Amino acid sequence: NAGVTQTPKFRVLKTGQSMTLLCAQDMNHEYMYWYRQDPGMGLRLIHYSVGEGTTAKGEVPDGYNVSRLKKQNFLLGLESAAPSQTSVYFCASSPGTGSFYSNQPQHFGDGTRLSIL
């Protein structure tokens, strides 16, 4: 019963370094999402994917890239990390069958805490 697994759980980077966050889900979900959560704010959508090989921009996509080469994996990349990207990153997935406008709650991983010095 793994659900949504995020690796790593913690990471400290220096400004300008690059890294990739990995999200894996074992529920055969079509849709996957990357969010960031900053203190005193709600989750904000960075990028999302409605199926293998597809990606789309969310609310705050600048400075991030994503890839969905396999249905179960969704990768979030930071090409040149900046202090403003210090945050907690959450990955989520949802079934995506039928109309998106039906009630299809998202299932979340436990987050990656990322600090950029």
- Interface ranges with another protein (CB under 8 A): 4, 31, 40-45, 48, 50, 56, 58-59, 90, 92, 100-101, 103, 105-111
The answer to whether residues 4 and 91 touch, using CB atoms and an 8 Å cutoff, is yes
Residue 60 CB, nearest distance to another protein (Å)? 11
Task: Select 14 or 42, whichever has its Cβ closest to another protein.
Answer: 42
Distance CA 41, CA 47 (A): 18
- Beta-carbon contacts of 65 under 8 Å, excluding residues fewer than 6 positions away, are 47, 76, 77, 79
In 3D, which of 94, 112, 99, 31 has the Cα closest to residue 68?
A: 31
Task: Select 9 or 80, whichever has its Cβ closest to another protein.
Answer: 9
Residue 91 CB, nearest distance to another protein (Å)? 8
Task: Select 4 or 21, whichever has its Cβ closest to another protein.
Answer: 4
The answer to whether residues 92 and 33 touch, using CB atoms and an 8 Å cutoff, is yes
Residue 22 CB, nearest distance to another protein (Å)? 15
